[in-house]
Amino acid sequence: MDINALSDIAAELSVPAYFFFPSGASNLAVFLNLPYYYPTMPSFREMGKTTLVRYFPGMPPIRAVDMLQSIHDKENDATKVRLYQFKRMAEERGVLQLSVPAIAPANRTVLDMNAAHQMLEKMPPR
C-alpha cells in the first residue's frame, strides 16, 4: 500500500501520522530538503563526478555522484515519485528514526517536524 495514501487516511481520521526512517539523520536532512532544492538545479546526472551539491542546510557539500542513484535524472518518473514522498514526509507530524544504541541509548528518536523546520531555517547554508 502507498504510504502517502495511509497518511491521507490518518489525516481524515484526525490521527497524527509519523514516518519510520531507519537510516541516519544526515540522510533524512538531505531527503527532507531535496524536494525544495532539486527543482532549481540541474540533474545530478548532468553535474559530473566532481561537482559539489551545497543546497542542504546544516550539511557539508555532497558530490552529485554520491546522491541517491534513483534520483540522478530529475525528469525520470521514479525521481518524481521519490521527491513527492520526501515532500510528504516533511508535511507529517514527525519521523520515528531508529538510531545506533551506542549513540542514542533510547534506541529511537522522534523528530518533531515543526521543531526541525524551525531549526533548519536558522542554520546558515554551507
| Confidence band of 121 (pLDDT split at 50, 70, 90) | low
Question: Which triple of cell numbers denotes residue 46?
Answer: 548532468
Looking at the chain, the whole-number percentage of residues with pLDDT higher than 70 is 72
Residue 126 clears pLDDT 50, i.e. is over it: no
How much is the pTM? Answer: 0.67
Choice between 24 and 35, residue whose per-residue pLDDT is larger: 35
Residue 47 clears pLDDT 70, i.e. is over it: yes
Closest C-alpha to 44, from 4, 19, 75: 75
Kindly list the domain boundaries of the chain, sorted by start residue.
16-122
Q: Answer yes or no: CATH 3.40.50.2000 is held by domain 16-122.
A: yes
pLDDT tens for 59-101 read 888 899 998 888 899 899 989 988 888 888 877 777 766 655 5
pLDDT of residue 108: 47
- The mean pLDDT value of the chain amounts to 76
Q: How far is CA 72 from CA 2, 79, 118, in A?
A: 23, 8, 29
| Confidence band of 36 (pLDDT split at 50, 70, 90) | confident
